[in-house]
Amino acid sequence: MQRGETDRITIRESFLPRLPAGVKPQETAQVSGEVTDQAGYMHLTMRVDVPYETVCARCLDPVRGNFEVTLERTVADEKTLSEKQLEENVDEYAVIRDGMLDLDELVEEEVLLSFPMRVLCAPDCPGLCPKCGKPKRLGDCGCDLREPDPRLAILKTLLTEDGKN
């Protein structure tokens, strides 16, 4: 973008994102945003919508959702920034290299770093029974979840079947 030609460039793209292990994209991700030029100061604002499918981290039920992330960066030519500025402010700049502003890497990195490490089907998902694996949301399975202290297990051998010595 050269000064005087335009003060706004609209971005509308779709791409198939790379997502964390165990997460599959449902369809292409949508990127929308704009680069604005205000007296030589260029600013990038974007929103990325990623429809996904994965499993609940607690109960293993399928989960479908739409992950949204927004990002804002100052657009700068690499020739105007020192290496120190780039290293210290890596999350502040979208860098123009060889006259091109390549947003693919920037968007993909932002999605990967921002995606939640654990996805739940519901915030209050109770998970699975640790003994039998039955989903707790279906009701009590009857498993005894009390674990005796293994250091005291030898004492159990002193009791007879009727619970007396």
Q: How far apart are the C-alpha atoms of 59 and 121, rounded to whole Å?
A: 8
Q: What pTM does this model have?
A: 0.70
Torsions phi, psi for 54 (to 5 deg)? -155, -165
CA neighbor of 97 nearest in space, from 108, 89, 84, 86: 86
pLDDT tens, residue by residue, 76-119: 777 776 677 666 666 677 777 787 777 888 888 899 999 999 99
pLDDT tens, residue by residue, 29-54: 999 999 888 777 788 899 999 999 99
pLDDT at site 29? 92
Residues contacting residue 102 through CB under 8 Å, at least 6 positions apart: none
In the chain, where the domains are located: 8-114, 129-165
CA neighbor of 66 nearest in space, from 57, 54, 79: 54
pLDDT at site 3? 47
DSSP-assigned states of every residue in 63-94: EEEEEEEEEEEEEEEGGGS-HHHHHHTTTTEE
